[in-house]
Amino acid sequence: MVSPTESRRAVVIEDDPDIRGLLVRVLVKQGFDVTQAGAGLPGVEEVRRVKPDLVTLDLNLPDLDGLEVCKLLREFSDAFIVMLTARADELDKLTGLDNGADEYLSKPFSPRELQSRINALFRRRPSPAADSAARSDLERATEVQQSLLPQEDIQVQGYDVAGVFRPSRNVGGDFYDWYRTPEGLHLTFADAMGKGMGAALIAATVRAVMRSTGLRHDLDTAFASASKAIAEDLDSSNSFVTLFHARLDADSGTVAYVDAGHGLALHVQSTGTVHRLPSGGPPVGAWAGSEWPQSVMELAPGDSLVVVSDGVLDVFESVEDFTDAVLQAAHNQESAQSASTAILALAPAETAEDDVTVVVVRRLPQEVAA
């Protein structure tokens, strides 16, 4: 019996509208919230969006082979997959292979048989209680991650500073942090490996450690001690974190920075050129004995320091394409906020699998600053 409080989701991927309708009815009767797709690729997107517990998948779809779709789904989903085929002779062949599907049915199928196969699958599924525990883990991770972001705007004379953050469905380990110093500001931008609560907790640790280093005057010493503390924490979890930490001297425009495996900080110049700041060493916690020398860059009036997470990079074929696109998006923007938003838009929300984070530190042109 299906208890009424149990909310299970299903996606039906089937091109024949009649069969699709039948499948939807059968599943709704079994207590599923059902959505549907008439082809393979829309189906994959639907599964990505809905995160169902069950997928029924037709083998012969207009765009992609059902086996191909199954493979794509298995990249990110652990839903039960029931594969349907109109060709009974294929059934033996299919069941003998490890395709990633959990169950096979030949069409025409009896609704009762489908129901009993699905029930059998769900008897093997962890209890709904375990499921809801996992969901609230995701919610808690989201809260942790949100709490790491600066709650207020930052005012630095002669500068315009903004940051934007868009979480993905799977909480990642992105965060940025900034605070005022007598000289200007300190900025930390980090991405912890992986997703979920683990990544969010690592991010929280990193933020706390980096904040505590703000008191140390010398950047090299500060970063060396911070990375040591972080690496010790990471050691047991087999994880690492990419980290960009910068200190701005507002009067001179000098930015001293350390880049540990991030590699996605850009110097966007008012002249319309862009220069990527290469990372100085591996991510923190990735490799014992690593060192990260500090580097220095100068922000001229009208220049921006743009730091972006790899969620934006994933959209582009190459780093060059990425830096060009960031330049186009950031150049001639009115404010740091509008530049950040334009860069964020480079990674469309529908397809982004990862968190996307952008920070822009813009030195105002002289006539505006005066």
Nearest to another protein of 139, 320 (CB atom): 320
Take residue 350 and report the two structure tokens written for it: 């529908």
Q: Is the peptide bond before 108 cis (omega within 30 degrees of 0)?
A: yes
Nearest to another protein of 8, 195 (CB atom): 195
> What is the distance between the alpha carbons of residues 300 and 158, in angstroms, rounded to a whole number?
11
| Residue 317 lies near another protein (rule: CB under 8 A) | yes
Task: Candidates 27, 280, 304, 343: give the one binding another protein (CB under 8 A).
Answer: 280
- Residue corresponding to tokens 């290469």: 278
State whether residue 151 is helix, strand or coil.
coil
| Residue 350 lies near another protein (rule: CB under 8 A) | no
| Residue 242 lies near another protein (rule: CB under 8 A) | yes
State whether residue 155 is helix, strand or coil.
coil
| Residue 319 lies near another protein (rule: CB under 8 A) | yes
Nearest to another protein of 241, 359 (CB atom): 241
> What is the distance between the alpha carbons of residues 287 and 273, in angstroms, rounded to a whole number?
34
Residue type, 71: K
| Residue 283 lies near another protein (rule: CB under 8 A) | yes
Nearest to another protein of 161, 171 (CB atom): 171
Q: What is the CA radius of gyration of the chain?
A: 25
Site string for another protein, 29-48 (x = CB under 8 A): --------------------
Q: What is the DSSP letter of 81?
A: E
| Residue 354 lies near another protein (rule: CB under 8 A) | yes
Nearest to another protein of 36, 239 (CB atom): 239
Nearest to another protein of 192, 248 (CB atom): 192
Q: How many CB atoms lie within 10 A of CB 336?
A: 25
| Residue 134 lies near another protein (rule: CB under 8 A) | no
- Residue corresponding to tokens 């991770």: 141
Nearest to another protein of 77, 85 (CB atom): 77
Task: Candidates 261, 268, 304, 326: give the one binding another protein (CB under 8 A).
Answer: 261
- Residue corresponding to tokens 């320091």: 305
Strand 32-37 and strand 8-13: pairing? parallel
Contact between 57 and 81 (Cβ < 8 Å): yes
| Residue 193 lies near another protein (rule: CB under 8 A) | yes
| Residue 128 lies near another protein (rule: CB under 8 A) | no
Give me the least distance between CB of 97 and another protein, in Å please.
12
Nearest to another protein of 49, 180 (CB atom): 49
> What is the distance between the alpha carbons of residues 7 and 4, in angstroms, rounded to a whole number?
8
Candidate ranges 15-23, 50-58, 276-284, 358-366; the one touching another protein (CB under 8 A): 276-284
Task: Candidates 76, 103, 121, 146: give the one binding another protein (CB under 8 A).
Answer: 76
Displacement of CA 284 from its chain's centroid (Å): 19
| Residue 53 lies near another protein (rule: CB under 8 A) | no
The number of residues that bind another protein (CB under 8 A) is 31
| Residue 58 lies near another protein (rule: CB under 8 A) | no
Contacts 24+ apart (CB under 8 A), 113-118: 114/23, 114/26, 114/82, 115/26, 115/29, 115/30, 117/82, 118/27, 118/30, 118/54, 118/80, 118/82
Contact between 286 and 234 (Cβ < 8 Å): no
Candidate ranges 3-11, 53-61, 127-135, 186-194; the one touching another protein (CB under 8 A): 186-194
- In the complex, the residues that contact another protein under the rule CB under 8 A are 71, 74-76, 170, 191, 193-195, 238-240, 242, 261-264, 278-283, 286-287, 310, 313, 317-319, 354
